[in-house]
Structure 1
Amino acid sequence: MPEGVSRRLRSGLSAVLTTFSCLLVPFSALSAWAAYGLADTGRYVTTMAPLAHDPDVREAIADTVGDGIMDEIDHQMDIRVTRGTVAPFVHDAVRSFTQTAAFRTAWNEGNRAAHDAVLRALREGDDDRDRPVTVDLAPVTAQVKAQLTEDHVPLAARIPVEHTEVALLPAQDLGRLRKGFDVLEVAGFWLPVAAVAFAVAGIALAACRRRALTATALGTALGGALLVLALAVGRGLTLAGLPDEVSHPAVGAVYDALTATLRTASWILVGLGLTVAALTWLTGRVTRRRRPNGPAPTSQPQPQPPTSVEA
């Protein structure tokens, strides 16, 4: 094969592999974050723990649990005429409870239990026996009831403590989510491996490896920037799709906490890609400056004087 054709073929194949590598960068980061970040109970609980101090989250929980307690009171005790009198005490008690160490402990344990339940349903569930994944709010109600009783709030001792289950995943969606989760766990490992393999192969095959390395680095930075943009757009769409009764600031705080690691990884990709591209460009300039401008002069043989020939 002629050298010119071989060079063009290598350059074309290198460009294709580099393009695939850069396209896989944002998807690799996203799948790895979901498979090894969200799917790990310990990391999930650690990520959610600071939200127990967030005022928007605490206010949303106070409203949700307080309304649930009042609904139980109305349903079982039929005291609607005194709702306006009791409701402020209930909500104040729940709000006060969210500022205690007991609430932070309950928050962490509740997140751990909910995460374990979701993972168990996604990994070990049976389509024929699928049930909704729920979390029980009865322990929170019991602690609020005890606090109201200590404060001598009227009718506090009669507040029913029922096993109030809040659905996390509906049963009809479990089959579809389980298949998606299986794909995600596989992609979380193989997509990053494929991205690195394509990048290495593209650089190795390139006729000009310095140029291929620069293109790969810039493509990586672009992939990270697109992922940052996707996270911002996803946050806006998530908040826009919420019902009016759901606290938008609280959901925004949860979204930011869950995506913090992915957002950091995205910015690392941007910084790393731009740094490698800049270093490659600078080393190329230094190399060109040190290289002589023209071909080195070759030494010419000195002419020898004619020798006299004696007759």
Structure 2
Amino acid sequence: MSRSSARPPIAALLLVIACLLVPLSVLAVWATHGIGDTARYAATTAPLATDTEVRDAIAAAVTDDIMREIDVGPPLRAPVHAYVHDAVVSFTGTEAFRSAWGTANLAAHDAVLDALRGDGDRDVPVTLDLAPATRQLKEQLVDDHVPFAERIPVEHTRITLLPADRLTLFRKGFHVLEFAGFWLPLATLVCAVAGIVVAVSRRRAVIAVGLGTALGAALLALAVLVGRVLTLSGLPDDVSQPAAGAVYDALTDTLRTVSWALLTTGLAVAAAAWLTGRYARRGQPPATPVPVPADPPTRAHV
């Protein structure tokens, strides 16, 4: 096979690899620098403290905890429940609640990152202690004279964030993501540039890269949507799906934004390259036919 005949398949292979790596690169960068970075994670999850669905879910859970600690007869249970619920909902709109939310959220994030970035010596589960947040909530409700608030138990309730039997697997996966977060975008760029350079028609190669990028971005956006459906459908019955959906949407907001940006950019690049080619062909003067010399006259023979 000659060098010129090998160029089209090599260029096609490089361009296909580049287009396949686009969604994987975006996902790796998002996981490493969006979720893995504490400052970005805090900025992403802080607005959830003012989200209506999240506040309602937390208020319902706290109200149920309070009502389990008090003994009220059926005639008074409904109005007491409504009063306590309104008081807790009011508390979720205060600065104290937002501070408690941020503290608990960052504590959970730091605990997970410390375990994932560890050296693998620890085999204990990663947990979050709710006692500090519960204590702050109790003090605020008592100060607001909410009935029976002083009965809220402040216990070291621990929520398992990463089970011990899966910690090694999660740690390996996170290390792969951190590695891929740097090298995958670089490999994508190298394959795309090399494919365009090697291609016989570079304009067509640019069009292919643009369309492939748009297709990869569309698949990534679809994957985010499917992931949302699967995540919410797998939740226990006692977990608020609207609140969980709000958390999922907040965490994947950047991922969705980048997906649509890449989709738009890819289509724009492909359209620009196609229109440029049409304009270039129209600007070329029509080829003039080459005159064919007439046959010389033959001398008649007498």
TM-score normalised by L of structure 1: 0.85
Q: Residue 238 of structure 2 aligns to a residue in which SS?
A: coil
Alignment of structure 1 residues 1-311 onto 2, 5 Å: 5-70=2-67, 73=69, 80=71, 84=77, 88-124=82-118, 126-127=120-121, 129-294=122-287
Contact 1:52 1:58 in 2 (8 A): yes
3-state secondary structure, aligned to 1:243: coil
Query: In the TM superposition, what whole-angstrom CA distance separates every residue of 1:189-218 from its partner, at most 9, and x where no partner exists?
Result: 111111111101100001111111111111
Aligned partners of 1:28 and 1:191 also within 8 Å = yes
After superposition, give the CA deviation of every residue in 1:84-130 in whole Å (9 maximum; x if it has no partner): 47655544433221111111122122211111111001112534x32
CA RMSD, 1 decimal? 2.3
Distance 2:146 2:264 in 1: 57
Q: For residues 11-62 of structure 1, what are the alpha-carbon distances to aligned partners after superposition, in whole Å with 9 as ceiling and x for unaligned? A: 1100011011111111111111101110001100100111111111011112
Deviations 1:241-278 (A, max 9, x none): 11222111111111111111011111111111111111
Q: What is the CA-CA distance between 1:154 and the residue it aligns to?
A: 4.7
Alpha-carbon shift at residue 132 of structure 1 (Å): 2.1
Q: Provide structure 1 residue ranges, at least 5 long, that are not aligned to the other structure.
A: 74-78, 299-311
Paired residue secondary structure (1:234): helix
State the distance in 2 between where 1:66 and 1:167 align. 22
Asked if the contact 2:217/2:259 (under 8 Å) is kept, the reply is yes
Q: State the distance in 2 between where 1:90 and 1:126 align.
A: 45
Distance in 1 separating the partners of 2:29 and 2:265: 18
Q: 8 Å contact 1:62–1:95 — kept in the other structure?
A: yes
Superposed displacement of residue 82, structure 1: 6.1
Q: Helix, strand or coil: the match of 2:127?
A: strand
* Shift of residue 8, structure 1, vs aligned partner: 2.4
Please tell me whether the aligned partners of residues 104 and 133 of structure 2 are also in contact (alpha carbons under 8 angstroms): no
* Structure 2 gaps, min length 5: 292-302
Q: How far, CA to CA, are the matches of 2:270 and 2:108 in structure 1?
A: 44
Contact map agreement 1:93 1:144 (CA 8 A) in 2:
no
Contact kept, 8 Å, 2:57 with 2:240, in 1: the verdict is yes
Q: TM-score normalised to the size of structure 2?
A: 0.88
Query: C-alpha separation between the residues in 2 aligned to 1:254 and 1:210?
Result: 43
Cα distance change on mapping 1:194 and 1:120 into 2, 3 Å = same
Return the alpha-carbon distance in structure 2 between the equivalents of residues 234 and 199 of structure 1. 28
TM-aligned CA deviation for residue 69 of structure 1 = 4.7
Q: Distance in 1 between matches of 2:280 and 2:146?
A: 81
Distance 1:92-1:170 versus aligned 2 partners, 3 A rule: farther
Higher mean C-alpha displacement, 204-213 vs 92-101? 92-101
Tell me: CA distance 1:217–1:70, structure 2 relative to 1, closer, same or farther (3 Å). same
Q: Percent identity?
A: 59
| CA distance 1:57–1:88, shift in 2 (3 Å) | same
In the alignment, the residues of structure 2 paired with residue 89 and residue 275 of structure 1 have an alpha-carbon distance, to the nearest angstrom, of 56
Provide the C-alpha distance between the structure 2 equivalents of 1:249 and 1:207, rounded to a whole number of angstroms.
Answer: 53
In structure 1, C-alpha distance between the alignment counterparts of 2:226 and 2:147, rounded to whole Å: 48
Q: Who is 1:306 aligned against?
A: none
- Residues 6 and 49 of structure 1, relative CA distance in 2, 3 Å threshold: same
Partner AA of 2:105 in structure 1: N
Preserved CA contact (<8 Å) 2:7 2:199: yes
Give the number of equivalent residue pairs. 289
Stretches of 4+ aligned residues off by more than 6 angstroms: none
